[in-house]
Amino acid sequence: MDTDQPIFNNGIHTISNNLLHTTSNDDNRFFENIFNNVNTLLKIKYEGQIIIKMKIYPFNNFTFNINVHITKVEGQVLLRLPSLDNNSKIEYTFISQPKIDISVDAGLSRNEGKQYLKTSLSNFIRRTIRFFIYKFFVYPSFNNACAAFDYA
């Protein structure tokens, strides 16, 4: 096949079989616009274990113990590459509320003894974590992450 023969012609842009060869300056701008921003929809499914442990000492002889276990994250993520505000970052957001399995074990104890308010504090922290995930990681909120490349 002749490399100068068009393989795609929609009446506006002609793309030749040879990807390094374009037929006009309009085609160059066409390709630049296509690859300026890439939006990708990904379906993610994480099954593992993320453990967050904290001990907070609010006042004398009291300890606030928090153990958070995230065992599953599943949902559709919109990935925008590059970020609208920075060429070396990517932006991501969940399209809808993700399915997240979170278990929290929290309580207030005195001198590492019996834990008090365990159920109330655990439920409050679990609801708070879910609220922040839904508020800051679900569309229209986008989050940035550094990319391993830089656009010229």
Tokens coding 82: 């590059």
Instruction: Verify that 32 and 107 share a domain, yes or no.
Output: no
What tens digit of pLDDT does each residue of 5-33 get? 444 444 444 444 444 444 556 666 666 66
What CA–CA distance (Å, rounded) separates 75 from 43? Answer: 6
Instruction: Verify that 87 and 129 share a domain, yes or no.
Output: yes
The residue ranking higher by pLDDT, 95 or 14, is: 95
What CA–CA distance (Å, rounded) separates 91 from 79? Answer: 6
Name the average pLDDT for the chain: 77
Instruction: Verify that 64 and 122 share a domain, yes or no.
Output: yes
Instruction: Verify that 32 and 44 share a domain, yes or no.
Output: no
Q: What is the value of pTM for the model shown?
A: 0.63
Instruction: Verify that 53 and 117 share a domain, yes or no.
Output: yes
Confidence at residue 137, expressed as pLDDT on a 0 to 100 scale: 85
Phi-psi region of 29 (alpha: psi -120 to 50; beta: other; left: phi over 0): alpha
Structural domain range at position 31: 1-36
Instruction: Verify that 58 and 118 share a domain, yes or no.
Output: yes
Instruction: Verify that 2 and 55 share a domain, yes or no.
Output: no
